[in-house]
Structure 1
Amino acid sequence: MSLKVITFDVYNTLINYGKELIEEITSNITKYLKSIGIEASFEHVYEAYVGLDREIRLRRVTEMVYVPPMDNVRAFLERLMHRYGVELNERMVMDVANIISNTLLESKNAKPGEDAQYVLMEMKDDGYRVGVVSNVIFWSSSVTRRLLDKYGLSKYIDVQVYADEVGKAKPHPAIFERAYSLLTHDMEPDIAIHVGDGFKEDLLGSVLDDIIGVFIDREGKFVISGSPAEFIKCRAYGVRRLKEVLLIPHLVSSCSI
């Protein structure tokens, strides 16, 4: 019996969110700050949040840097409080971290992709062991685990591995290696696939760790026509929709990995 494993990124792969969720988080933080006497503007809060998020993502790729979620929340607030000349305290850090996490868990702007449950179920039925490999920025892995439970996706997932548990973030090989070690019990898999919407974090990260990479290119930046597209023969693919991931095993079945 062959050993087949597949892992998925979480956000904007299995669970989708966009600008609306960030605006909701920003609004809730702005309301909180006003409740404690800090007249921060929505625009300044949004700018600080999005700006730091962008910097963190860049540093993960260029420097392989991992920073714990609470430290990122603190850095976000330090920038914001500096603008308003307010001294930051740890109570504010804890409060804002809880606001971010609770907004995510309660928001209608974060929801599973329409194909997410179907794809996970089909991969399980096809004999794959299924895992999650996901980074964290402003909320911990415990929040993501609760979200996957909330939407009924965790029952199809055998292993969940997150950056704050490993101390390394994608594209660092350590986080992929942890997931595949747990999924295979340190045996060599016959086929190993990772799926995500990050070209560098997911696709390049997996390929560099000798895992077949599948990039979800919803905007069509690289997959212009003919999905799935083969970027590197038998090693790297692009799809426009999550559902098309189900075609990848058939494409690689005749490959010598």
Structure 2
Amino acid sequence: MIKALTFDVWDTILNEDKFYQLLSINIGKKLGKSGEEVFKNIMSIDRDAIKIRLEGGFKNIIYDTAEYFSNRLGLKNQEDLFNSVIEIIESEEICSLAFEDSISSIHEIKKMGMKIGLVGNVLFWPGMITRLILKRNGLLDYFDATIFQDEVGYQKPSKEIFQIASKRLNVSLNELGHIGDSLENDFVGAISSGMYGFLIKRDLNANYIELGKKAYAIRSLSFLSEIIKKINKA
């Protein structure tokens, strides 16, 4: 039975590409480059940084990843990168990052009487900034707990970060579900921790596929409530 649900943030409820596009336009103006050129570069850096993060290569996650991104982007220092992040979160464009199914689906889950939380890894912007972005997109107030890597010292897919979530939501791990877009960090992390795992794949041909007793792939967040009702009825 599922009594609570945690969500990943980026590319699960917020569109990371849109965030990076806004950031790329801002940085491009500082570097005299097109936003498109910077975006291609930043996406490549992001993929490499995620691999390094998973391997434990960044000791101070915020500072070290900021230095890594800044150096590869050709910025003078981390401060230029931090200022660009601040500038875009002050813009009106930052308020349009939520996927179409995010608010309605989360609202439906809350109507079922379930507690919900966020479990997120970070790169060069801290969990505090992500909370602000969620607030500006009308999402933050839905969550009963928000857990971020830079604040608790653990990252997905480690069991420890999910244990923190279960304690804050006052449920056991086997009563907790987690939904995210990363096969390793979200789906495998949840399943290996004894939780229900939901992998969001927006290009899935079916509405959802049952991959195992506690494992599902879904095309849209809008199918979450249907699956949870089915699980809890069994």
Fold match, TM over 0.5?
yes
- From the superposition, tell whether residues 105 and 13 of structure 1 become closer, same or farther in structure 2 (CA, over 3 Å): farther
- From the superposition, tell whether residues 218 and 147 of structure 1 become closer, same or farther in structure 2 (CA, over 3 Å): same
- From the superposition, tell whether residues 3 and 28 of structure 1 become closer, same or farther in structure 2 (CA, over 3 Å): closer
After superposition, the C-alpha distances for 1:43-65 in whole angstroms (9 at most, x for unaligned) are 7644542222101222444x355
Aligned to 2:208: 228
Percent same amino acid among aligned pairs?
Answer: 29
Structure 1 segments unaligned to the other structure (5+ residues)? 35-39
- Pick from 124, 135, 138 the counterpart of residue 110 of structure 2: 124
Amino acid at match of 1:71: D
- Pick from 166, 177, 194 the counterpart of residue 210 of structure 1: 194
- Pick from 203, 207, 213 the counterpart of residue 219 of structure 1: 203
How many residue pairs match? The answer is 232
Aligned to 2:14: 15
- From the superposition, tell whether residues 126 and 254 of structure 1 become closer, same or farther in structure 2 (CA, over 3 Å): closer
Structure 2 segments unaligned to the other structure (5+ residues)? none
Contact in 1 for aligned 2:191/2:215 (Cα 8 Å)? yes
Calculate the TM-score normalised by the size of structure 1: 0.79
Aligned to 1:69: 62
More helix by share: 2
Q: What does 1:21-36 align with in structure 2 at a 5 Å threshold?
A: 21-33=19-31
Calculate the TM-score normalised by the size of structure 2: 0.86
- From the superposition, tell whether residues 65 and 131 of structure 1 become closer, same or farther in structure 2 (CA, over 3 Å): farther
Contact in 2 for aligned 1:48/1:80 (Cα 8 Å)? yes
Work out whether 1:100 is the aligned partner of 2:52.
no
Quote the Cα distance in structure 2 between the aligned partners of 1:205 and 1:46.
Answer: 29
Aligned to 1:55: 48
Amino acid at match of 1:54: R
Quote the Cα distance in structure 1 between the aligned partners of 2:178 and 2:8.
Answer: 8
